[in-house]
A and B are shown apart, each in its own frame.
Chain A
């Protein structure tokens, strides 16, 4: 009886053999890999080539090797440094505020609460909306004569603000819009993190009489940290690409005071039709995102190693 392998053992064996034959996976992976090669990797390599090229559009598209001239121009271009600075500023301020507010809201709602599901639905709503529509919503709100914001300020006795027309104010208007749009993301990710924490540990600490702040500082937050890091990484990587709302609300203005890297690359590449230089600005954004992604992956790994 023992010589006859059971059905389960046969199938285990079969699965094992099939698992080891990796070439069988090829037909399953081929469509995905070829789509990515055609529509992401190839265009990416083409853009890399563009950054080292001179492009002429006279009589059809012609590419000539142009050496480092686009990159040299980039380093000397004040407008590039301006859009890089704007992008970094928006990411730093918006992501920090979104994290703090998202964490606060998640902590508030992570308890038995009448109407909790109702509030949760309202809180995540802005995240799903089309950025273009969000841009217009806020353009209306910031409008200096027919918008509600300045009227409300006036009623409480404050002077009107040039939300989108003042140089040093406009970028904060963009940041407020981003906070409205993306705090929901931080909120939902951190709430999911809080809800997956082991309840026994928290309960044990509460029975021991740990105060609310101590509980958060020494128990909840350390356990939540991996989720928090993941949320900040994911949000930052997206925030670097900010363009849609700026396109609608300020168009990069006044002057170039709210121009982000993506918007700058778009203007140069498609409005000035300087494809090679537009590609170079876009590539600098890619390098920035890559460096941030790699360093954040390393930070995460180091943190995990310490933890283990």
Chain B
């Protein structure tokens, strides 16, 4: 009996300790966004109303004031590039995954598994390797520092992941439900659009959200390929560094705006992540 109580206490203590480690940095950023310049420079303060007086000035400046214009462009860019590339990658990825699961491919010595491996393995390509060449390529094409260019680059960046996830989902769909439609003379494209995609909607949504998070958070390629017109939120945040003194309060507010959508997505996705995506990963 005492043994069991002791064990339970130990487990909760350990879980609580890691929770504190995981949450404290986020807590610090949240309270920093409610500090005024003086409260930051006087040294660390930990608890609002107890050792510092919280203020909304940083949030007011960002949402309604002088910084509003600074943040608007990058926020729009991040949204357009993130959603645009994610919609594109889900469509293109779904088509490829359908082709790989429903046809027997033989191109020379290469079969379905080889092609799948070729596509998925590109995920290991370090972005810096392609980044240097993409910089020159997009400059020649006139796509440097444009949303279109970034949408295409992020589509290629997320495609291996999208194809891998959708391939797993499509494999779980029994082909029987497609057979009737094919017998009735529907084309493969119609079958994919009207039967397979609706049936695999949960998988589609999961793939969409995963790719959106990667595109939204991406930094290095955006750093190389955008300067001004198409720069995204991570680039705006990173640029605060080059100022002589970092304005922690406004930087924290900007960062929180950037991470808020992703936190929401994580809360939605987390249950799904374990049961559907990772359950078969070890095999």
CA–CA, A226 and B136, complex, Å: 41
B129 and A285 contact, CB distance less than 8 A = yes
Known A28-B99, A129-B259; contact A147-B44, beta-carbon cutoff 8 A: yes
List of A residues within 8 angstroms of B119 by Cβ: 32-33, 36
Segment from B57-65, B151-159, B200-208 that makes contact with A: B151-159
Return A89 CB to nearest CB of chain B, in Å: 18
Answer yes or no: A113 CB below 8 A from chain B CBs: yes
**B153: A residues at CB distance < 8 A:** 39
User: Is B281 interfacial (CB-CB < 8 Å)?
Assistant: yes
B132 surroundings in chain A (CB, below 8 A): 43, 47, 50, 265, 269, 275, 278-279, 282
Closest Cβ neighbor of B220 among chain A residues: A243
Q: Among A7, A31, A40, A283, which residue has its beta carbon within 8 angstroms of that of B122?
A: A40
Query: Is A151 a contact partner of B279 (Cβ separation < 8 A)?
Result: no
Contact B136 A32 (CB under 8 A): no
Chain B interface residue count, CB cutoff 8 Å, equals 100
Asked whether A137 lies within 8 Å of B217 as measured between CB atoms, the reply is no
A31 touching B279, Cβ below 8 Å: no
Find out whether the CB atom of B279 lies under 8 angstroms from the CB atom of A195.
yes
Pair B92/A32 contact, Cβ less than 8 Å: yes
In the complex, which residues of chain A have a beta carbon less than 8 angstroms from the beta carbon of B266? 121, 124-125, 127-128
Distance, CA A10 to CA B156, complexed state (A)? 40
A-B contacts, CB under 8 A, total = 299
B195 CB within 8 Å of chain A: no
Complexed CA–CA distance, A226 and B282 (Å): 6
A43: chain B residues within 8 A (beta carbon): 129-134, 137
Interface centre among B40, B44, B128, B188 (most CB of A within 10 A): B128
Whole-angstrom distance between the alpha carbons of A271 and B277 in the complex?
Answer: 40
CB of A172 closer than 8 Å to a CB of B: no
Instruction: From B153, B213, B274, name the one whose CB has the most chain A CB atoms within 10 angstroms.
Output: B274
A19-27, A64-72, A214-222: which lies at the B interface?
A19-27
Q: Which of A238-285 contact B (CB under 8 A)?
A: 240-241, 243-244, 247-248, 261-262, 265-266, 269-270, 275, 278-279, 282-283, 285
State whether A132 and B43 are in contact (beta carbons under 8 Å apart), knowing that A19-B104, A29-B99, A269-B132 are contacts in the complex.
Answer: no
Residues 124-162 of A, flagged 1 when their CB comes within 8 A of B and 0 if not, give 111111111110111011000111100100000000000
Does A97 count as interface, using CB distance less than 8 angstroms? no
Q: A137-B28, A195-B274, A195-B279 are in contact. Are A7 and B220 (CB under 8 A)?
A: no
As a 0/1 sequence over residues 34 to 66 of chain A, the CB contacts with chain B under 8 angstroms (1 = contact) are 011011101110110010000000000100000
Cβ-defined contact, A20 with B104, below 8 A: yes
B105 at the interface (CB under 8 A from A): yes
Asked whether, in the complex, the Cβ of A36 is within 8 Å of the Cβ of B122, the reply is: yes
Q: Is A132 in contact with B219, judged by CB distance below 8 angstroms?
A: yes
Residues on A with C-beta less than 8 A from B122 are: 36, 40
Name the residue among A121, A196, A224, A293 with the largest chain B CB count within 10 angstroms. A196
B-side contacts of A283, CB under 8 Å: 129
Which of A73-81, A163-171, A184-192 lies at the interface with chain B? A184-192
- The answer to whether A131 and B217 touch (CB under 8 A), given A46-B137, A124-B266, A137-B29, is yes
A109 at the interface (CB under 8 A from B): yes
B175 touches A (CB below 8 Å) = yes
The distance in angstroms between the C-alpha atoms of A140 and B248, with both chains bound, is 8
**Contact at A189–B281, with CB atoms within 8 Å?**
yes
B128 touches A132 (CB 8 A): no
Question: How far is the CB of A13 from the nearest CB of chain B, in Å?
Answer: 10
CB neighbours of A39 from chain B (8 A): 130, 134, 152-153, 155-157
In the complex, the chain A residue whose C-beta lies closest to that of B181 is A11
Q: Is the CB of B133 within 8 A of A46?
A: yes
Q: How close is B31's CB to chain A, nearest CB, in angstroms?
A: 10
Bound Cα distance from A114 to B189, whole angstroms: 48
In the bound complex, do residue B95 and residue A32 qualify as a contact, i.e. CB atoms below 8 Å apart?
yes
Partner of B219, one of A21, A38, A119, A130: A130
Give bound CA distance, A113 to B262, whole Å: 27
Contacts of B134 in A (CB 8 A): 39, 43
A104, closest chain B residue (CB): B14
Contact of B265 among A14, A128, A188 (CB under 8 A): A128
Whether, in the assembled complex, B66 has its beta carbon less than 8 Å from a beta carbon of chain A, the answer is no
Measured CB to CB, the closest approach of chain A to B53, in angstroms, equals 17
Q: Count chain B CB atoms within 10 A of each CB in A24, A101, A278, A290 and give the residue with the most.
A: A24
Contact partner, B11, options A33, A36, A113, A227, Cβ 8 Å = A113
Check if B188 sits within 8 Å of A28, measured CB to CB.
yes
Q: Does A303 contact B (CB under 8 A)?
A: no
A–B complex contacts, Cβ < 8 Å, 15 sampled: A14-B183, A27-B95, A32-B92, A35-B156, A40-B122, A117-B271, A122-B23, A123-B22, A146-B42, A151-B44, A192-B282, A227-B281, A241-B128, A282-B129, A286-B125
Query: Shortest 4 CB-CB distances between A and B: which pairs?
Result: A28-B99, A227-B282, A39-B156, A192-B278
Instruction: Give B residues with C-beta under 8 Å from A.
Output: 11, 14-15, 18-19, 21-23, 25-26, 28-29, 32, 40-44, 46, 92-93, 95-96, 98-100, 102-107, 115, 119, 121-122, 124-137, 152-153, 155-157, 159, 163, 175, 179-180, 182-183, 188-189, 192, 213, 216-217, 219-220, 223-224, 233-234, 237-238, 240-241, 248, 251-252, 255, 258-259, 262-263, 265-267, 270-271, 273-274, 277-283
